[in-house]
């Protein structure tokens, strides 16, 4: 459960009480559209929306239902790669989906997204100019930015000898057994790619093999490859170093203040997750209302507090109640501290297959199975002995029954 920073609770509570009569902008926009009683299917990352009234937040889906009378069916996924086949194979119909940049590029390429008429969304004016015209959607026709994040290095101050500044700390033998690695191929490959000065979007097989070799070399130092267990392992001090997303770090640091975060000097991956409407959408009108509602500064601020990522919503960035978050140097680094960033791009299918093959090879590396052969040989020997013995006994028995006189 993610918690917000305590001092805000009071301020936010007071704020929402003051605004309790008309909390949202343009409430008229949502009314009288004949959509009451319809349903909307939302497909989002896990833990990626404010779903509680605790601490002055709002339960976004419940508020949307209250405001519009549209029922929200909310379903979550773990990764872009997990989400993609579910939309592609058309097993279910979703009206809203929130993929990351490179996945949006792929989905646009494959004609899987519907256009969004942003000029008809009253709250679209709140989208920060910095996040318009992104590379994956230059005309802003298919996506509305929801969240921005970067990958950095989380470390435990009490467990490292000096604060790391480079990704190469993940190859430092002093921390053997205390290093965790992110368990998904593109994020894991990104780190050696940065160290070696390659592009995150390299399609050069030789470069990818170099990268895989670095990950193989790193393997003996690792405690494990993890995703959601990072929370437990970093908060309890089980591990010292892990590359992960900044928003999750903000949440972990509230539990364990020994944790710190750095954007390594070699550069980092930046991502923008945006709201899209897939082609299989059944309730396009409701999807428009939903996107507009998510852009409402009150809603967006609640989400920004809950999720802990940087927001591309200018309405939130300008909001007096959000000032304290803006001072968080991890989420909003000063321009001189801003690391070099690079977006993921969609890669050709051959490269994706090549990467996932390398990734399996990395995973199965280092299993020493010589003792297993001995084990299997023993089992085989016992089996053969047993079967032969059983045969012999039953033959003998048959013989005995067939020739009783000989046994007298």
Partner 1 sequence: MKKKSLGTKLTAAPYLVWSAIFIIVPLIFVLVYSVTDSQGNFTLQYILDIGKYKDVMLNSIWLGFIATVISLVISYPLAYIMARTTANVQRTMMILVMLPMWMNLLIRTYSMMIILQDTGIINTALEAIGLGKVHMINTEAAVVLGMVYNYIPYMILPLYSIMSKMDHNLIEAAEDLGANKFTVLKNIVLPLSLPGIASGFTMVFVPSVSTFYISKKLGGNTFSLIGDVIEMQFKSANNYNLGAALSLVLMVLIIICMMVMNRFTGEDDDGGVLI
* Residues near partner 1 (CB under 8 A): 79, 81-82, 84-85, 177, 183-185, 219, 222-226, 229, 232-233, 236-238, 352-353, 356-357, 359-361, 363-364, 366-367, 369, 372-373, 375-376, 379, 383, 386-387
Report how far residue 274's alpha carbon sits from residue 343's, in angstroms, rounded to the nearest whole number: 14
Q: Which of 235, 342 has the CB closer to partner 1?
A: 235
Please, which residue, 33 or 233, has the CB nearer to partner 1?
A: 233
Q: How far is the CB of 344 from partner 1 (least distance, A)?
A: 14
Structure tokens given for 271: 């991502």
Nearer to partner 1, 26 or 360 (CB): 360
Residue 156 contacts by C-beta under 8 Å, 6 or more apart in sequence?
234, 237, 239, 240, 241, 256, 258, 259, 260
Q: Which of 166/184 has CB closer to partner 1?
A: 184
Task: Report helix angle 185-195 to 349-364, nearest 10.
Answer: 90
Query: Residue 226 CB, nearest distance to partner 1 (Å)?
Result: 7
Count of all residues that appear for the chain in the document: 408
- Nearest distance in Å: CB 49, partner 1: 23
Q: Which is nearer to partner 1, 33 or 88 (CB)?
A: 88
Q: How many CB atoms lie within 10 A of CB 349?
A: 9
Q: Which residue lies nearer to partner 1 by CB, 84 or 146?
A: 84
Cross-strand pairs, 44: 76
Q: Which is nearer to partner 1, 232 or 282 (CB)?
A: 232
Rg for the chain (alpha carbons), in Å?
28
**Strands of 39-45's sheet, edge to edge?**
71-77, 39-45, 96-97
Instruction: Give dist(CA 184, CA 207) in Å, integer.
Output: 18
At closest approach, how far in Å is the CB of 22 from partner 1?
A: 43
- Provide the minimum distance between the beta carbon of 285 and partner 1 in the complex, in angstroms, as a whole number: 33
Our CB check for partner 1 shows the closer of 282 and 383 to be 383
Our CB check for partner 1 shows the closer of 16 and 225 to be: 225
Q: How many CB atoms lie within 10 A of CB 387?
A: 10
- Smallest distance, Å, CB 103 to partner 1? 12
Of residues 135 and 386, the one with the C-beta less far from partner 1: 386
Q: Which residues contact 213 (CB under 8 A, 6 or more apart)?
A: none
Nearest distance from residue 159's CB to partner 1, in Å? 11
CB of residue 197 vs partner 1: minimum separation in angstroms?
26
CB of 111 to partner 1, least distance (A): 19
Give the C-alpha distances (Å, rounded to integers) separating 192 from 103, 356, 374, 399. Answer: 22, 16, 38, 72
The minimum distance between CB 232 and partner 1, in angstroms, equals: 7
């Amino acid at each position: 459960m993610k918690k917000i920073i305590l001092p805000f609770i009071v301020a936010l509570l007071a704020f929402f009480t003051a605004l309790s009569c008309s909390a949202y902008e343009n409430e008229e926009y949502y009314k009288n559209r004949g959509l009451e009683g319809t349903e909307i299917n939302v497909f989002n990352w896990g833990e990626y929306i404010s779903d509680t009234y605790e601490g002055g937040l709002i339960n976004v889906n419940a508020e949307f239902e209250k405001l519009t009378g549209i029922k929200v069916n909310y379903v979550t996924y773990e990764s872009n790669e997990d989400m993609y086949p579910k939309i592609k194979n058309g097993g279910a119909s979703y009206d809203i989906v929130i993929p990351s940049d490179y996945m949006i590029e792929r989905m646009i390429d494959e004609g899987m997204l519907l256009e969004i008429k942003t000029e008809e969304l009253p709250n679209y004016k709140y989208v920060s100019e910095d996040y318009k015209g992104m590379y994956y959607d230059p005309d802003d026709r298919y996506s509305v930015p929801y969240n921005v994040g970067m990958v950095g290095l989380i470390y435990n101050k009490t467990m490292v000898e000096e604060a790391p500044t480079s990704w190469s700390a993940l190859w430092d033998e002093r921390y053997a057994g205390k290093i965790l690695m992110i368990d998904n191929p593109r994020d894991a490959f990104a780190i050696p790619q940065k160290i070696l000065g390659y592009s995150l979007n390299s399609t050069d097989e030789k470069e990818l093999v170099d990268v895989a070799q670095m990950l193989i070399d790193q393997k003996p130092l690792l405690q494990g490859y993890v995703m959601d267990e990072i929370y437990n392992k970093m908060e309890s001090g089980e591990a010292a170093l892990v590359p992960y997303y900044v928003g999750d770090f903000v949440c972990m640091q509230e539990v364990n203040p020994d944790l710190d975060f750095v954007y390594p000097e070699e550069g980092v991956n930046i991502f923008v997750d945006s709201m899209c409407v897939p082609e299989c959408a059944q309730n396009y009108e409701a999807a428009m209302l939903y996107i507009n509602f998510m852009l409402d500064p009150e809603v967006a601020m609640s989400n920004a507090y809950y999720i802990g990522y940087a927001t591309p919503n200018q309405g939130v960035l300008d909001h007096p109640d959000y000032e304290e978050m803006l001072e968080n140097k991890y989420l909003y680094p000063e321009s001189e501290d801003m690391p070099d960033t690079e977006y993921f791009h969609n890669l050709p299918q051959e490269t994706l297959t090549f990467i996932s093959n390398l990734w399996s090879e990395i995973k199965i590396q280092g299993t020493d199975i010589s003792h297993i052969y001995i084990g299997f040989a023993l089992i085989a020997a016992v089996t053969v002995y047993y079967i032969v013995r059983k045969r012999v006994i039953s033959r003998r028995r048959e013989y005995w029954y067939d020739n009783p006189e000989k046994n007298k």
